[in-house]
Copies of this chain bind each other. A is one copy, B any other.
Amino acid sequence: MLSDSRNTPALRGPVAFLTDFGDIDPFVGQMKGVIAGIAPTANVIDLCHKVPPQRIDIAAMFLDGSREYFPTGTIFVAVVDPGVGTARRSIILNVARQFFVGPDNGIFFPLIRHATWSAVQIENPHLQLSQVSSTFHGRDVFAPAAGHLACGVSLESFGRKINALSPLVVSKAKRDGHTIQGEVSHIDSFGNAWTNITKAMLIEIGALIKREEVSIRVENTLINGLGDSYQTGRMNAPVAIINSVNFLEIAWPDGSASKNLGLKQGTDVQVEIR
């Protein structure tokens, strides 16, 4: 199986990694070494390695908000895996002509909401490293799977088909008439506060056609109006915009909204039409 897959001429697409491994250890480098041994010409891309430790929900959001920017055939390897070494399944998911390799712990659940999909369990020991540790399936199971997939190995070769994925438990924003109640889901590297309120929900309450009548309340601050860009706001004042992955975001032009407003993950956010 191995030698066959190495001779396959056409690669399927790039391999994109998403993990919570950070960058102070050689973990991500070892996964790339494994890929290089199986699929030497694969194009390997780092999507992000600083998902907050074991935050499956953030990883799922990063993946769901990023995949549309990657080409057909991309093989995503997502390793945020608090259950490594336990009975949780290792899977490969095929949805919308892209592949997703990782633990079945909810991380891929948002991807299958509105799409047809198929998935298999990774069982075939010939498509894993010969020694599989109990602590690092990213290197020993998921990276080899991605390498073999990149070489054209079929999904059926990996293991039996599965018919349901484990669900993802997340806090969702709620709508009540013209009001949305949500929370801060993530503080990015600029100090911008991402919320769990989607563009779709804002459209439902008419916020995009009445931008000036929107009020956003967060901590003790009231922001009037939904902005177009980071530069919409006045100096020394926060601005609310729809960000590049289509969530409501609280920003501060040339500063940190998180620091200036005291926002952190979990802070309540309320949107209404006046």
* A contacts, CB < 8 Å to B: 13-14, 16, 18, 21-30, 32-34, 36-37, 40-41, 43-50, 53-54, 62, 65-66, 69-71, 74, 82-86, 133-136, 139-140, 188-190, 228-232, 241, 243-244, 254
Chain B residues within 8 Å of A71, by CB: 33, 36-37, 40
CB pair B25–A189 under 8 Å, yes or no, is yes
* Alpha-carbon distance between A232 and B134 when the two chains are bound, in angstroms: 10
Q: Closest approach, in angstroms, between the C-beta of A200 and any C-beta of chain B? A: 15
Q: Which of B48, B135, B229 contacts A26 (CB 8 A)?
A: B48
> What's the dominant secondary structure at chain A's contact region?
loop
CB pair B23–A50 under 8 Å, yes or no, is yes
* Alpha-carbon distance between A21 and B232 when the two chains are bound, in angstroms: 20
Chain B residues within 8 Å of A189, by CB: 21-25, 53
CB pair B82–A254 under 8 Å, yes or no, is yes
* Alpha-carbon distance between A116 and B243 when the two chains are bound, in angstroms: 39
* Alpha-carbon distance between A30 and B34 when the two chains are bound, in angstroms: 23
Q: Closest approach, in angstroms, between the C-beta of A44 and any C-beta of chain B? A: 8
* Alpha-carbon distance between A74 and B254 when the two chains are bound, in angstroms: 31
* Alpha-carbon distance between A77 and B41 when the two chains are bound, in angstroms: 20
Given contacts A85-B228, A229-B134, A254-B82, contact A70 B23 (CB under 8 A): no
CB pair B69–A30 under 8 Å, yes or no, is yes
* Alpha-carbon distance between A32 and B54 when the two chains are bound, in angstroms: 25
CB pair B48–A190 under 8 Å, yes or no, is no
Chain B residues within 8 Å of A53, by CB: 189-190
Q: Which of B43, B48, B69, B229 contacts A135 (CB 8 A)?
A: B229
Given contacts A16-B33, A229-B85, contact A241 B135 (CB under 8 A): yes
* Alpha-carbon distance between A140 and B82 when the two chains are bound, in angstroms: 34
CB pair B69–A34 under 8 Å, yes or no, is yes
* Alpha-carbon distance between A133 and B188 when the two chains are bound, in angstroms: 18
List 8 A-B pairs, minimum CB-CB distance, nearest first. Answer: A85-B229, A22-B189, A29-B47, A33-B70, A134-B229, A136-B244, A37-B71, A33-B69
* Alpha-carbon distance between A47 and B25 when the two chains are bound, in angstroms: 8
* Alpha-carbon distance between A140 and B229 when the two chains are bound, in angstroms: 14
* Alpha-carbon distance between A244 and B21 when the two chains are bound, in angstroms: 13
Chain B residues within 8 Å of A228, by CB: 85, 134
Q: Closest approach, in angstroms, between the C-beta of A256 and any C-beta of chain B? A: 9
